[in-house]
């Protein structure tokens, strides 16, 4: 049996969805939200002493994203439990 080359493997991955879109969407947004939460702390620090309202804005956005992260995390857990996370 011949070992498939990298091109054959990539073609198989591209033609066969490695993950259903609705699950990929959850992972994609989760990743973006997690990155944002880290950056918001820097933005918050940058604005301290420069603007009275910006630190509050960054804190509120961070709190919203943390809530969204929890929602997405719980939904991924539900998909895993139902066997639909593939």
Is residue 42 within 8 Å of 31, Cβ to Cβ?
Answer: no
For 11-41, how does the pLDDT look when each residue is reduced to its tens digit (9 = 90+)? 665 656 778 999 999 999 999 999 999 999 9
Cα–Cα distance between 46 and 36 in angstroms, integer? Answer: 15
Is residue 69 within 8 Å of 6, Cβ to Cβ?
Answer: no
Does residue 44 carry a pLDDT above 90? yes
**Residue 48 DSSP symbol:** T
User: pTM above the 0.85 mark?
Assistant: no
């Amino acid at each position: 049996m011949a070992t498939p080359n990298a091109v054959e493997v990539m073609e198989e991955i591209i033609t066969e969805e490695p993950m259903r879109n609705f699950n990929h969407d959850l992972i994609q947004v989760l990743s973006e939200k997690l990155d944002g939460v880290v950056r918001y702390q820097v933005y918050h620090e940058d604005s301290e002493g420069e603007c009275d309202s910006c630190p509050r804005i960054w804190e509120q956005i961070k709190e919203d994203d943390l809530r969204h992260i929890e929602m997405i995390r719980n939904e991924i857990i539900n998909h895993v439990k139902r066997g639909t996370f593939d």
